[in-house]
Amino acid sequence: MAEVRRLQPVEVPDDPPEQDSLSTRVAVSALALGLKALSQRALAATKDVFTLLSVGTTFWIWNNQPDPSITQIVSLSLYATFILAANVIVRRV
């Protein structure tokens, strides 16, 4: 029969070891640099999200018309032209 092993308590030191202040400062500055780059990329991606959503709505509206009439085709074409113009304006700003 196998021997049953009992759990043993682990001794935890009262005070955690002090870290080197230089390594802590380097780690904090590296984290800050990474977060800065990530936030700049997120801001740059907002233009792409606008383009994706606006073109997606145009595509969705076009596909929701099973048998469009001439008036619907003209109005959908005007909407698509408006979305194209809005995306050009957003890209230039």
Return d(Cα 39, Cα 74) in angstroms, integer.
41
Question: Angle at CA 62, nearest 5°, toward 73 and 79?
Answer: 60
Q: What percent of the chain has pLDDT over 70?
A: 88
What's the mean pLDDT when you consider all of the chain?
A: 84
Average of per-residue pLDDT across 4-11: 81
As a whole number of angstroms, the distance between CA 36 and CA 82 comes to 35
What's the average model confidence in pLDDT over 63-85?
91
pLDDT above 70 (res 74): yes
**9-13, 17-21, 61-65, 76-80, range with the lowest pLDDT:** 17-21
- Rounded Cα–Cα distance for residues 3 and 35 (Å): 52
Q: pTM of whole model > 0.85?
A: no
